[in-house]
Chain A
């Protein structure tokens, strides 16, 4: 016989909240406007990416300023397969994106994880920009600055090309992406709760001690790099059909900066922080960009505020309020 306290334990409340949010997101397309649904779609793609990014940033302590590279890899995979090879099965696209990004992440990561902090950030930035230059230069392959088209993929084998584009996006594709987000978030939860995840946290907090205790610091960082790269590729591959066109701007270093911003805004110390950050950023950006052409200034100010005053982000603020509540009980 469970006590009332056990039933309303924080863990169960959290799970309930998640289920409610999940259901809400599922039925949102029924009453929200088409544009809001479209924004949510982009949020799902970014959410997957930043959840993966935070494995590297929040849990392993490595700031990558070139993570948009892997998003671009996923996006260009989708573009290539659909427009150049007419392979339209979304599942194939996702698998290929993961494979390619994992290989790239393994290679790049092997170089990068030997360095820390600023050097790591700089090296990842350099790789991101190198990929940008590559996409621009080899225009025969990649379309250069004009980019490449992304055709509408089949979902679970269903060819849905008869449905009008917006309806396809805001119904079928929406649910598809949401389900993938839910699955991947659950997988990530398992990862960070596992012994592997604990090792990463140990490495983040005190690398020498972790090494001394027998944890291969470089190897584990490498694994984290590959996993987060794969997540970003999936996010990019899911984003591409929604936009319809991929271009090299996807891997420009300021796009990587956006990923960092989202994670920081939501709170990198909290598992759900990046998700909060993603949705707030997307809707905030939409509002602010419509209000003024000086939105960069506003976002810069927000970022400065976050770094100086609230580095724990929104989740950090919420959790300190909750702690205060608990203390006052």
Chain B
């Protein structure tokens, strides 16, 4: 009798204790669900401006998907300092409309930050606007020499993407490495600033390693061209040792297909500096091995030991049946940087920071993203690694991948500050 009573008390006591612990734990969890001190409760509003149609639709859609995946991931773990993330999307179309949409997001929707934009012209229009309105803008793409050198030497709110020519420079470095004996090159690039800048940068870098290399042909199809049979015939006639192209969208598979139809790359080497932008369309049946292929800042298979990448690729593929491209990491890293900058400020200030404070924290920041560590320099230009390699068919997919994978670091391919003149920097290389 005594024993059972004691046992009963123990039992009830234990249950009460357990319940008490449970209740206390629930209160603690609820307390944790409240945002920390100094942080508003409303969601963080992030504006995104992807291009969803036309040539920029290919990377733009990818970047928008990455933005949404990031937002879902962050919200699943409680948001930024407990604040949920809300996305407001406005499409990137023409410069006039981008300016309007940017103003709308800032003035009407009152978003805390705007990320996006890939077209150079739109970036040049929006950059000064971001500074005037005091709105944080983290750009995905489209930074040319003009935008970097001339217009905005030191910004507080506009954070530009990586220099556009980086992949051309990387392509030239690898060309010198893998194809050191070539004597003549030909270029087929889109007839606009990016195409021209890439061709110029590629030649300048290649000549640094191989001063006797000559360009025997340069073709300039317009952006959006869908038929290259004449161009390919002209390239064949010029008989270069290597063909370089900076195509990055739907024109990559078209060029590759039509080249395969006449066996162009059987005898001529190729360097597709930015072809990785449409890598999953480069099917094995018309893409040969042995070409240099650049994936810009994200190669979806660069390693198996980086959990951020593995998780992202799986989520992306499961949802969209495609593999991510570099624009995904441009978008993802901007958001990672934003979040990290806020957390950094909070640790110092004990409250949610202002846009200007976030801007200061973003300068020089380094964060983990899909492609490893990336960040912003002190002059608010992004830097990151680039992935390029030689195409191979040895993989389980129906499209080509690269092996070996060369990782090109910022010090190799991105000029050190915004103020440096690109071609003087290249001339000054020691090796």
**A contact residues vs B (CB 8 Å cutoff):** 33-35, 38-39, 42, 136-137, 139, 144-147, 149, 164-166, 239, 242-247, 249-250, 255, 286, 289-290, 293
Contact = CB atoms under 8 A, between A and B. Distances in A.
Contact of A33 (B107, B121, B146): B107
Interface of B: 52-53, 90-91, 94-97, 99-101, 103-104, 107-108, 119-121, 124-125, 128-129, 132-133, 144, 146-147, 151, 191-193, 196, 222-223
B271 to A, nearest CB: 23
Contacts of A34: 103, 107
Contacts of B222: 136
Contact of A38 (B103, B120, B128, B144): B103
Contact of B121 (A39, A147, A290): A147
B192 A244 contact: no
Among A33, A139, A145, A246, chain B packs the most CB atoms within 10 A around the CB of A145
A39 B124 contact: no
13 contacts: A34-B103, A139-B196, A145-B192, A147-B125, A149-B124, A149-B151, A165-B132, A242-B99, A243-B99, A247-B94, A247-B121, A289-B101, A293-B52
Nearest to B108: A35
Contacts of B96: 42, 239, 243, 249-250
B125 A166 contact: no
A149 B101 CA distance: 18
B125 A144 contact: no
A33 B104 CA distance: 10
Contacts of B193: 139, 144-146
A243 B95 contact: yes
Given A33-B108, A147-B124, 15 more contacts: A35-B108, A38-B100, A136-B222, A145-B223, A147-B95, A147-B121, A165-B132, A242-B99, A244-B99, A245-B121, A245-B124, A247-B94, A250-B96, A289-B91, A290-B90
A33 B146 CA distance: 34
Given A243-B95, A243-B125, A247-B121, A166 B133 contact: yes
Given A149-B151, A286-B100, A245 B95 contact: yes
A139 to B, nearest CB: 7
Contacts of A164: 132
A146 B124 CA distance: 7
A286 B99 CA distance: 12
Contacts of A147: 95, 121, 124-125
Nearest to B104: A35
A39 B100 contact: yes
A145 B90 CA distance: 22
A136 B95 contact: no
Nearest to A164: B132
A198 B7 CA distance: 109
B107 A35 contact: yes
Contacts of B147: 146
B191 A136 contact: yes
Nearest to A282: B100
Contacts of A242: 99
